[in-house]
Structure 1
Amino acid sequence: MKVSHYFEFEEHVTGGVAASVDHQRKMFDRVGIEYTTEPTLDADVIHFNLMGPRSVWYARRARSAGVPVVAHTHVTAEDFGDSFRFTNALARPLKPYLRRAYGLADRLVCPSEYNRDLIEEYADVPTTVISNGVDREKLAGFESFEDEYRGRYDLDLPTVFMVGHVIKRKGLETFVETAHRTPDVDFVWFGPIDRSLKGRETTRLVDEAPANCTFTGFVDDIRGAYAAGDIFCFPTHEENEGIALLEAMAAGKPLVVRDIETFSWLKDGEECLKVGDERDATGEASAADTEARGDNVEGFVDAIDELRDADRRAALGASAAERSEEFSLDAIADRYRSLYADLA
C-alpha cells in the first residue's frame, strides 16, 4: 500500500498541525506504511492535512479517478479565531469553505471526540478519531536540561508554565492575570511570539505582563521547557486536542486546565485540576464574565495554590503520566494502517 501524505503550506505552518504531521509520518515508519509527501494520484490513498486550494484541487481529481480521499480536520472555524492577526475576520467565511472542502473526503480523521462532534456540523462524511499522539522520543532526557533552563530564565520552583505559540485563544489573558495575582510564583510561556502576526491586544498583554511572567520566544530545545516547568497551566478557550498538554502529561507534570469539553476525558482531581467558568447564584455566567469569556482567574489562582504542595504535584503528575501512555505513537500507529486498509 502506498499513501500520498500531503501537507499543504508545509514550509510555512508550525505548531500543533506541523507536529501532528511529523507524528503521523513517524507512525507510518513504525508500521511500514509506504508514503510520499507529494500530492499524487499514483497512490492507493491520498491523505490531506490542510485543505488549502491545492489540496482541494487534488481531492476533486482523486475522486474522479477513484482514489480514496482522507482529510485531517486540524482546522475548524471555532479553533481559528483569536489566533493570529486577521483570523477573527476570516473565521466566518472559513466555515462554509471547510464544509465544501471536507465534503470532498471519503473519510475525515479527527484528533479528538470533541473535534469529531464539531465536524459533524461541517460535512456528512464518515469520521475516524485518531489522536495526534505524543512523541516520547522527542522528550527523552528532558530532566537533564533543568538547571540550564531554570538558570537561563531565573525560574524558582514551583514554576507555572505553558508551551506553544503565544496566542490569545490559548488563554493568554488568563495566564497573565493569574501571574499578576500570584506574584511570588514564577510563570513562563515557552514558544514563539511572532509579534508581526499578532493583534494589538496580544502584544499588549505580553508587554504589560508582570515581572514574574516571562515570555521566552522560540526555544532551541523544547525539552528545556518540560524540565524547567513544574505546573502545566493550559487555560485555552478552544482546542482540538492539545499536543503540548499530552507532552506535559508524558513528562509527568501536573495539569491545570480550563473545564471545557475538549478536556472532558481528563479526570478532575486525579489526572488534572479543572477550573470552571465563574457563575452567579442562578448558575448562569454573569454579563461581566461573558465579556471576559467566562474567565475564572481566582479558580486558576486557587489551583496553583493547591499545587504548591510537592506531594500533590507528584501525585497528580504521576497519574497524568500513566494516562498519557495510551497516546504514545506506538499505541496509535496501527490505527492508520487499519484506516487505509479499510479505504483502499
Structure 2
Amino acid sequence: MKVSHYFEFEEHVTGGMAASVDHQRKMFDRVGIEYTTEPTLDADVLHLNLMGPRSVWYARRARKAGVPVVAHTHVTAEDFGDSFRFTNALARPLKPYLRRAYGLADRLVCPSEYNRDVIRGYADVPTTVVSNGVDREKLDGFESLEAEYRERYDLDPPTVFMVGHVIKRKGLETFVETAHRMPDVDFAWFGHVDRSLKGRETKRLIDEAPSNCTFTGFVDDIRGAYAAGDVFCFPTHEENEGIALLEAMAAGKPLVVRDIETFSWLEDGEECLKVGSEGGGDGAASADVTDAPGDNVEGFVDALDELRDADRRAGLGANAAARSEEFSLDAIADRYRSLYADLV
C-alpha cells in the first residue's frame, strides 16, 4: 500500500499542525506504510492534511480517478479565530469553504471526539478519530535541561508555564492576568512571538505583562520548556486536541486547564484541575469567535494556589503521565493502517 501524504504549505506552517503531520509520518514508519510527501494520484490513498486550493484540486482529480481521499480536519472556523492578524475576519468565510473542501473526502480524520462533533456540522462524510499523539522520544532526557533553562530565563520553582504560539485564543489574556494576580510566582510562555502577525490587543497584552511573566520566543530545544516548567497552565478557549498538553502529560507535569468540551476526557481533580469560565459557560468558543465567554481568572489563581504544594503537583503529574500512555505513537499507529485498508 502506498499513500500520498500531502501537507500543503508545509514549509510555512508550524505549531501543532506541523507536529501532527510529523507524528503521522513517524507512525507510518513504525507500521511499514509506504508514503510519499508529494501530491500524486499514483497511490492507493490520497491523504491531505491542509485543504488549501492545491489540495482541493487534487481531491477533485482523485475522486474522478477512483483514488480514495482522506482529509485531516486540523482546521475549523471555531479554531481559527483569535489566532493571528485578520483571522477573525477570515473565520466566517472559512466555514463554507471548508464545508465544500471536506465534502470532497471519502473519510475525515479528526484528532479528537470534540473535533468530530464540530466537523459533523461541516460535511456528511464518514469520520474516524485518531489522536495526534505524543512523541515521547522527543522528550527523552528533558530533565537534564532544568538548570540551564531556569537560569536562561530566570525562573524559580514552581514555575507556571505554557508551550505554543502566543495567540489570544489560547488564553493569553487569562495567562497574563493570572500572572498579575500572583506576583510571587514565575510564569513562562515558551513559543513563537512574531509581532508582525499579532493583532493590536495581543501585542498590548504581551507589552503590559508583569515582570514575573516571561515570553521566551522560539525555543531551540523544546525539552527545555518541560524541564523548566512545573505546572502546565492551558487556559485555551478552543482546541482541537492540544499536542503541547499531551507532551506536558508525558513529562509528568500537573495540568490546569479551562473546562471546555475538548478536555472532557480528562478527570478533574485526578488527572488535571479544571477551571470553568465566568457566566456559567464551558469556555468553548463558538463560530462567532468574537463572543468568547468571560475569563475566570480567580479560578485559575485558586487552582495554581492548590498546586503550590509539591506533593499535590507530584500526584497530579503522575496520574497525567499514566494517562498519556494511551496517546503514544506506538499505541495509535495501527489505526492508520486499519483506516487505509478499510478504504482500499
Q: Is TM more than 0.5 here?
A: yes
Tell me how far 1:277 sits from its aligned partner.
1.4
Instruction: Tell me which amino acid in the other structure corresponds to 1:256.
Output: V
Q: How does 1:138-217 map to 2 (within 5 A)?
A: 138-217=138-217
Q: What is residue 82 of structure 1 aligned with on the other side? A: 82
Instruction: Tell me which amino acid in the other structure corresponds to 2:213.
Output: C
Deviation by residue 1:6-45 (Cα, 9 ceiling, x = unmatched): 0000000000000000000000000000000000000000
Is the 2:281–2:293 contact (alpha carbons within 8 Å) kept by the matching residues of 1? Answer: no
Q: What is residue 259 of structure 1 aligned with on the other side? A: 259
SS at match of 1:29: helix
Q: What is residue 330 of structure 2 aligned with on the other side? A: 330
The reply on whether 1:277 has 2:291 as its aligned counterpart is: no
Tell me how far 1:291 sits from its aligned partner.
6.8
Structure 1 CA distance, aligned partners of 2:4 and 2:296? Answer: 45
The reply on whether 1:300 has 2:300 as its aligned counterpart is: yes
Instruction: Tell me which amino acid in the other structure corresponds to 1:219.
Output: V
Structure 2 CA distance, aligned partners of 1:271 and 1:72? Answer: 28
Structure 2 CA distance, aligned partners of 1:10 and 1:277? Answer: 35
Tell me how far 1:278 sits from its aligned partner.
2.1
Percentage of pairs with the same residue: 90
The reply on whether 1:55 has 2:17 as its aligned counterpart is: no
Deviation by residue 1:139-161 (Cα, 9 ceiling, x = unmatched): 00000000000000110010000
Is the 2:278–2:293 contact (alpha carbons within 8 Å) kept by the matching residues of 1? Answer: no
With normalisation by structure 1, the TM-score equals: 0.97
Structure 2 CA distance, aligned partners of 1:277 and 1:52? Answer: 34
Structure 2 CA distance, aligned partners of 1:292 and 1:111? Answer: 23
SS at match of 2:128: strand
**Residues 284 and 326 (structure 1), Cα distance of their counterparts in 2 relative to 1, 3 Å cut:** closer
Tell me how far 1:294 sits from its aligned partner.
2.1
SS at match of 1:133: coil
Tell me how far 1:284 sits from its aligned partner.
7.3
Instruction: Tell me which amino acid in the other structure corresponds to 1:335.
Output: R
The reply on whether 1:317 has 2:317 as its aligned counterpart is: yes
Please provide the CA RMSD for this pair. 1.1
Structure 2 CA distance, aligned partners of 1:190 and 1:53? Answer: 32
Structure 2 CA distance, aligned partners of 1:60 and 1:291? Answer: 36
Instruction: Tell me which amino acid in the other structure corresponds to 1:14.
Output: T
With normalisation by structure 2, the TM-score equals: 0.97
Is the 2:51–2:71 contact (alpha carbons within 8 Å) kept by the matching residues of 1? Answer: yes
SS at match of 1:17: helix
Tell me how far 1:222 sits from its aligned partner.
0.1
SS at match of 1:330: helix
SS at match of 2:333: helix
Structure 1 CA distance, aligned partners of 2:91 and 2:292? Answer: 20
The reply on whether 1:96 has 2:66 as its aligned counterpart is: no
Q: What is residue 343 of structure 2 aligned with on the other side? A: 343
Q: What is residue 222 of structure 1 aligned with on the other side? A: 222
Structure 1 CA distance, aligned partners of 2:180 and 2:293? Answer: 19
Instruction: Tell me which amino acid in the other structure corresponds to 1:35.
Output: Y
Structure 1 CA distance, aligned partners of 2:298 and 2:257? Answer: 13
Instruction: Tell me which amino acid in the other structure corresponds to 1:95.
Output: K
Deviation by residue 1:72-126 (Cα, 9 ceiling, x = unmatched): 0000000000000000000000000000000000000000000000000000000
SS at match of 1:236: coil
SS at match of 1:302: helix
**Residues 140 and 129 (structure 1), Cα distance of their counterparts in 2 relative to 1, 3 Å cut:** same
Instruction: Tell me which amino acid in the other structure corresponds to 2:212.
Output: N
Instruction: Tell me which amino acid in the other structure corresponds to 1:161.
Output: F
Structure 2 CA distance, aligned partners of 1:110 and 1:43? Answer: 22
SS at match of 2:237: coil
Tell me how far 1:240 sits from its aligned partner.
0.1
Structure 2 CA distance, aligned partners of 1:179 and 1:236? Answer: 16
Structure 1 CA distance, aligned partners of 2:25 and 2:223? Answer: 21
Post-superposition, which runs of at least 4 consecutive aligned residues in structure 1 deviate over 3 A?
Answer: none
The reply on whether 1:108 has 2:108 as its aligned counterpart is: yes
Structure 2 CA distance, aligned partners of 1:34 and 1:278? Answer: 49
Instruction: Tell me which amino acid in the other structure corresponds to 2:27.
Output: M
